[in-house]
Chain A
Amino acid sequence: MELNATIFGQWITFFFLFFLLTKFLYSPLSRVMKQRTAKIQEGLDAAEKARIDLENAKTFYEDQQVKAKIEAQEIIQKAQDRAVALKNEIVSQAKEESKRIVQKSREDIQFEWEKARVELRREMADIIFLATGKVLGAAVDRDRHMALITDVVEHVKANGA
């Protein structure tokens, strides 16, 4: 148990082993571990990017959904407004039409009324002619006595008809 030249031999052995382990274990293993770490980091980065993309897509989808809802509401509102406007227009047109029809009906009635009056007057005159002819026992000339008969008819109309 004494010190001798073994010390130097062990130094040589140690540094030989240091060279071996550095060149064939530590360096390649460190390189491999760094490569793996880089790969894992790449995977983590890709996963993080995918997560962010998903988050963005989700946000975009939600925004679009909100926009679509708002647009749908606007479209519905516009359609409702248009329907109300259309309804009002139709009602207004219908009122105008009904007024026009009523007016025309009144005019028609007035016209028919006037026509009936004229007809009635003519028929009354004819009756009066016949009656008068019968009473007088002679024929009454229509064209000749027309003015007279018309005066009678007007007189009758004014007094009671």
Chain B
Amino acid sequence: MTGEKHGVAEHLEHWVTPVLGYAVNLDTFVMTGIVVAFLMVILFLFRINMHDGAPTGLQNFLEVVVEFIEDLVKENLPVYVPWVTPLALTLFIFILLGNWIGEIPGMKSPTADINTTVSLGLISFTLLLYFSLKHKGMGYFSEFLFHPFGKWLIPVNFFMKVIEELAKPASLSLRLFGNMFAGHVVILLIAAMIPWWMNWTVGVIWLGWHLFIGLIQAFVFTILTIVYIAIGQQKEH
């Protein structure tokens, strides 16, 4: 039993390697690279078959995805910004494929690494800051001082606003990481606890469930990023 637990823990650990003097998780990079390579193949196949007639097959699927994300952006942003759509699309596809790649035996989800989710969370946070400063200017900083309790409780306001703003990327990152990491822990524990010849039954059920969770998490991350941008664009608090 101890040996099995040790095996599970070992499987969850990252291959940390120094690159230019900085530690990086090599397995995360390899998995991310596979996702990027897969996407490049998909893009190549899409581009050689692309036409402006009635869409079929891959083009049809990609159009559905792009339209879905574009509708989300257009419906939620008070001021439509064209480059937000491909950004949200990249977030959605990157997180979705990052989540799903971990379901292939021998692969690991790059989104089950806190570094990936924190980097994505920080991108979302940067967008929030950019749009808040662009649309509110100095008014954004006044929110830190005078909201929600007015000028008599500035320290409390500042503390609460800082927590509120930091909670956004933190919740985004930890939610995605927690879901993906927990999914892998559960599948490893199931594999360790039940007899090997029963693994496939539970594995198939869990696989279906975890594919669904991966889709939901990609959607949640994307829609929340769009919502944060929308909050940044709102003039008045």
Encoded as 1 (CB less than 8 Å from any B CB) or 0, chain A from 100 to 142 comes to 0000000000000000000000000000000000000000000
Pick from A9, A25, A35, A36: contact of B66, CB under 8 Å: A25
A64, CB-defined interface residue at 8 Å: no
Say which residue of A9, A20, A26 sits within 8 Å of B24 (CB atoms): A9
What are the residues of chain A within 8 A of B116 when measuring CB–CB?
A: 6, 10
Q: Is the CB of A36 within 8 A of B52?
A: yes
Does B123 have its Cβ within 8 Å of any Cβ on chain A? yes
SS of B interface (majority): helix
Report the minimum CB–CB distance from A31 to chain B (whole Å): 8
Q: Give Cα A3 to B89, complex, Å.
A: 26
Interface-forming stretch among A11-19, A53-61, A90-98, A148-156? Answer: A11-19
Are B23 and A20 touching (Cβ within 8 A)? no
Q: Which of chain A's residues have a CB closer than 8 A to the CB of B114?
A: 1-3
A76 at the interface (CB under 8 A from B): no
A-side contacts of B118, CB under 8 Å: 3, 7
A108 nearest CB across to chain B (Å): 102
Contact with A along B149-185 (1 / 0, CB 8 A): 0000000000000000000000000000000010000
**Number of chain A interface residues as a range:** 20 to 34
Q: Are B46 and A25 in contact (CB under 8 A)?
A: yes
Q: Number of B residues whose C-beta is below 8 Å from A? A: 46
Chain B residues with CB under 8 Å of A9's CB are: 24, 29, 32
Chain B minimum-CB-distance residue to A29: B66
- Structural contact, B86 and A4, CB atoms closer than 8 A: no
Nearest chain-B residue to A31 (Cβ)?
B52
The stretch that binds A, out of B36-44, B128-136, B188-196, B216-224, is B36-44
Taking a contact as CB atoms under 8 Å apart, the answer to whether A18 and B120 are in contact is no
Chain B residues within an 8 Å CB radius of A14: 90, 94, 119-120, 123
Q: In the complex the two chains form, is A21's CB within 8 Å of B28's CB?
A: no
**Interface residue? B93 (CB, 8 A):** yes
Q: Counting CB contacts under 8 A, is B85 at the interface? A: yes
Which residues from A are CB-within-8-Å of B72? none
Complex Cα gap A7–B86 (Å): 21
> For chain B residues 86-115, which have a beta carbon within 8 Å of chain A?
86-87, 89-90, 93-94, 110, 113-115
A88 within 8 Å of B (CB atoms): no
Asked if A49 lies at the interface with its beta carbon under 8 angstroms from chain B, I say: no
CB-CB contacts below 8 Å: B13-50 with A: 14, 16, 19, 22-25, 28-29, 32-33, 36, 39-40, 43, 46-47, 50
B77, CB-defined interface residue at 8 Å: no
19 cross-chain CB contacts under 8 A? A1-B14, A3-B115, A3-B118, A4-B23, A4-B24, A5-B23, A5-B24, A6-B116, A6-B119, A7-B118, A11-B119, A11-B122, A13-B33, A14-B119, A17-B94, A21-B39, A24-B46, A26-B86, A33-B66
Pairs of residues from A and B, 4 with the lowest C-beta to C-beta distance, nearest first: A5-B22, A6-B115, A10-B119, A26-B86
* Extra 8 A-B pairs, beta carbons < 8 Å, given A4-B25, A5-B23, A26-B85: A6-B29, A9-B29, A10-B32, A10-B119, A17-B93, A18-B86, A22-B83, A25-B62
